[in-house]
Structure 1
Amino acid sequence: MDMRTTRRLAIGILIGGSLAAATGFAQEIKFFRIGTGGTAGTYFPIGGLISNAISSAPGSRKCEEGGACGVPGLVATAVATNGSVANINAIQGGTLEAGLTQSDVAYWAYTGTGVYEGKPKVEGLRAIANLYPETIHLVARKGAGIKTVADLKGKRVSLDEPGSGTLIDARIVLGAYGLTEKDVKAEYLKPNASSDRLRDNALDAYFFVGGFPVGAVVELATSVGVELVPISGPEADKLLKEYGFFSKDTIPAETYKGVAETPTISVNALLVTNASQSDDLVYGVTKALWNDNSRKLLDSGHAKGKQIKKETALQGVGIPVHPGAERFYKEAGIKTQ
């Protein structure tokens, strides 16, 4: 074999090895899409924090010694969506690997009850973690004369978009006070669009379910001022008794500028996935969510981040926990509720 042939063979081996290495590298990367909600709500920033916490593409960043930074080779992304129902449908259809959803919507989907009555059960829905309480906000325009839920009759009210958990809960709240969508001038807008219309006096009130403080409401309260309508009294007590996934809640005074303490109700925000996701992957995602580096991201990234705690991760999930997540919690000594 002459020198020229040897050189060609060596170059061929190097190129082949490089391509093999590149192919192997590409195969190591796995994309993990997390459905959130509208960009003006709480799901989107929280979803972004979780994505950062669990992502760890090869060579993307260095971690402190002894502290894992996400799942090796996992690239997680937060995807803006219409919210809870849309996320569950996308997880079932395979266009999302995980998503945020309200605990009530997750329960209805899994059991085929409530808003899923008459529809196929989403039997593959599985929980990764309970995250934080989601508070029902009923935001009213100053001077609209809305002091109670019953005052919404005849008013211009946004109930949020179809596919959102907010729309479902808004209907339940209206019903508790003897109202239906036909009793109000209903619109179906995202929170940011609702805020714009309320600011322009084109809307009297809107519902939104999310962890406070909600960015769209903060901006509105600061710019033109708003009122929060309490969801309380015997009607709310009856609602709490009928729907076990609701809890009493309070929005503290000055959470939104100029707004007094407001009694209301809340549901849990869950991170969910499909039973078809591998146990090892979900185990890794769960473990990454609760490491020390993730704790720092959650604590500093959003006001609700501090309420996302490993100790409460299995409280009030209402649906089965994914086996991969369950394995992590057992190792951590956290019992399924």
Structure 2
Amino acid sequence: MKFFKNFRFLAATLIVGVAIGSSLAIAQTPAFFRIGTGGTAGTYYPIGGLIANAISGSGDKGVSGLVATAVSSNGSVANINAIQGGAMESGFSQSDVAYWAYSGTGLYEGKGKVEDLRLIATLYPETIHLVARKGAAIKSVADLKGKRVSLDEPGSGTIVDARIVLGAYGLTEKDIKAEYLKPGPAGDRLRDGALDAYFFVGGYPTGAISELATSSGISLVPITGPEADKLLADNSFFAKDIIPAGTYKDVGETPTISVAAQWVTSAKQPDDLVYNITKVMWNDATRTALDAGHAKGKLITLKNATTGLGIPLHPGAERFYKEAGVLK
């Protein structure tokens, strides 16, 4: 009888121990938070890496129990699709693409609305670069007619904006010899003389274009004039921009246009998690990392975080911005 009592006590102890162990394991299981970025040659990827490192919980920094990673992708559209499908917890998008997705307009016309799309922060201006081969005799967008031009890959935000820019100057893809390459391969083909120009949307300076300007020389094509003015009037998510002289070797000041880079997520992400991520995003340690880590990092500011929204803020992010006094 005593044996059975002891056996029952041991069994109960084991069950309690397993239960406690399981609870601890669950409690200690890290939360993974992927950030869809862009190609490794662009600006999204290094900025994503800086943010992922800042918000990952290790030591006395980041969000406790959070493991964040920057994931290379095809850009804005691919990131929004991944968030919608649950393959990513968050991602970067151009403000125009985010607006179209949420409203079911533009690129998303007839494809349904991505109603769960929410904003964590507006990050920095994304400048439209129209990079041309030296000697290609391309002085304006209109000069692209008949030229070999890469518009970036399907699924990227760049290709959408490239089509809008071409249209503003009376051109379509049928008027050019269109190719669909990421910025890295496009730059290689430009260097080899197999391509005349390519579009890139991202913060300046971008490493791939800097390397190209240094190694073989480039020109930047201005996006300006009455055509650009009408484009700006018709598309409120665009703004005037200037690439300063000397940003790229031997390239003078170039007037162009820009959209905003935004960090987006799903309404399904827990409010407390997004609140804590947003809080860490704007602390002093992250500020230092952004300032030191990339030229575009200095433009990522709390003051600009809630500008040019286009889509609703995630409730967790909104709570932080109200506490911080940047949102009423």
Normalising by structure 1, we get a TM-score of 0.91
Query: Shift of residue 15 of structure 1?
Result: 8.1
Q: Residue type of the partner of 2:101?
A: A
Alignment counterpart, residue 144 of structure 2, candidates 125, 128, 152: 152
Could you tell me which residue of structure 2 aligns to residue 49 of structure 1? Answer: 50
For 1:101-116, what aligned pairs fall within 5 Å after superposition? Answer: 101-116=93-108
- The Cα offsets for residues 31-84 of structure 1, whole Å up to 9 and x where unpaired, read as 00110000000000011111011110xxx3x33xxxxx2211000000000000
Could you tell me which residue of structure 1 aligns to residue 219 of structure 2? Answer: 227
Query: Shift of residue 26 of structure 1?
Result: 3.8
Q: In structure 1, how many angstroms separate the alpha carbons of the residues matched to 2:105 and 2:23? A: 50
Q: In structure 1, how many angstroms separate the alpha carbons of the residues matched to 2:160 and 2:16? A: 60
* Residue aligned with 1:106, SS: helix
Q: In structure 1, how many angstroms separate the alpha carbons of the residues matched to 2:102 and 2:297? A: 27
Could you tell me which residue of structure 2 aligns to residue 210 of structure 1? Answer: 202
* Residue aligned with 1:283, SS: helix
Query: Shift of residue 24 of structure 1?
Result: 3.9
- The Cα offsets for residues 173-199 of structure 1, whole Å up to 9 and x where unpaired, read as 000000000000000000000000000
Alignment counterpart, residue 124 of structure 1, candidates 110, 116, 122: 116
Could you tell me which residue of structure 2 aligns to residue 138 of structure 1? Answer: 130
Alignment counterpart, residue 186 of structure 1, candidates 154, 159, 178: 178
Could you tell me which residue of structure 2 aligns to residue 23 of structure 1? Answer: 25
Q: In structure 2, how many angstroms separate the alpha carbons of the residues matched to 1:315 and 1:162? A: 28
Alignment counterpart, residue 265 of structure 1, candidates 257, 261, 264: 257
Q: Residue type of the partner of 1:296?
A: T
* Residue aligned with 1:324, SS: helix
Query: Shift of residue 12 of structure 1?
Result: 6.8
Q: Residue type of the partner of 2:107?
A: V
* Residue aligned with 1:328, SS: helix
Percent of aligned pairs with the same amino acid: 70
Residues 1:240 and 2:241 are matched in the alignment: no
Give the conservation status (yes or no) of the 8 Å contact 2:28–2:65.
Answer: no
Residues 1:77 and 2:65 are matched in the alignment: no
Alignment counterpart, residue 193 of structure 2, candidates 178, 195, 201: 201
Q: In structure 2, how many angstroms separate the alpha carbons of the residues matched to 1:262 and 1:16? A: 66
Q: Residue type of the partner of 1:234?
A: P
* Residue aligned with 2:212, SS: helix
Q: In structure 1, how many angstroms separate the alpha carbons of the residues matched to 2:159 and 2:323? A: 38
Alignment counterpart, residue 284 of structure 1, candidates 262, 276, 282: 276
Q: In structure 2, how many angstroms separate the alpha carbons of the residues matched to 1:83 and 1:41? A: 10
Give the conservation status (yes or no) of the 8 Å contact 2:54–2:280.
Answer: yes
Query: Shift of residue 317 of structure 1?
Result: 1.6
Could you tell me which residue of structure 2 aligns to residue 92 of structure 1? Answer: 84
Q: Residue type of the partner of 2:130?
A: L
Q: Residue type of the partner of 1:217?
A: I
Normalising by structure 2, we get a TM-score of 0.94
Could you tell me which residue of structure 1 aligns to residue 37 of structure 2? Answer: 36
Q: In structure 1, how many angstroms separate the alpha carbons of the residues matched to 2:20 and 2:312? A: 44
* Residue aligned with 1:319, SS: coil
Task: Give 4+ residue runs of structure 1 displaced > 4 Å after superposition.
Answer: 11-22
Q: In structure 1, how many angstroms separate the alpha carbons of the residues matched to 2:90 and 2:118? A: 9
- The Cα offsets for residues 250-293 of structure 1, whole Å up to 9 and x where unpaired, read as 00001000100000000000000001111111101110100111
Could you tell me which residue of structure 2 aligns to residue 66 of structure 1? Answer: none
Give the conservation status (yes or no) of the 8 Å contact 2:121–2:264.
Answer: yes
Q: In structure 2, how many angstroms separate the alpha carbons of the residues matched to 1:246 and 1:21? A: 50
- The Cα offsets for residues 218-259 of structure 1, whole Å up to 9 and x where unpaired, read as 000010000000000000000000000000000000100010
* Residue aligned with 1:140, SS: strand
Query: Shift of residue 202 of structure 1?
Result: 0.4
Gap runs ≥5 in structure 2: none
Query: Shift of residue 20 of structure 1?
Result: 4.3
Could you tell me which residue of structure 2 aligns to residue 171 of structure 1? Answer: 163
Q: In structure 2, how many angstroms separate the alpha carbons of the residues matched to 1:221 and 1:15? A: 64
Q: In structure 1, how many angstroms separate the alpha carbons of the residues matched to 2:134 and 2:38? A: 27
- The Cα offsets for residues 121-177 of structure 1, whole Å up to 9 and x where unpaired, read as 001100010000000000000000100000000000000000000000000000000
Task: Note the aligned Cα RMSD (angstroms).
Answer: 2.0
Residues 1:323 and 2:325 are matched in the alignment: no
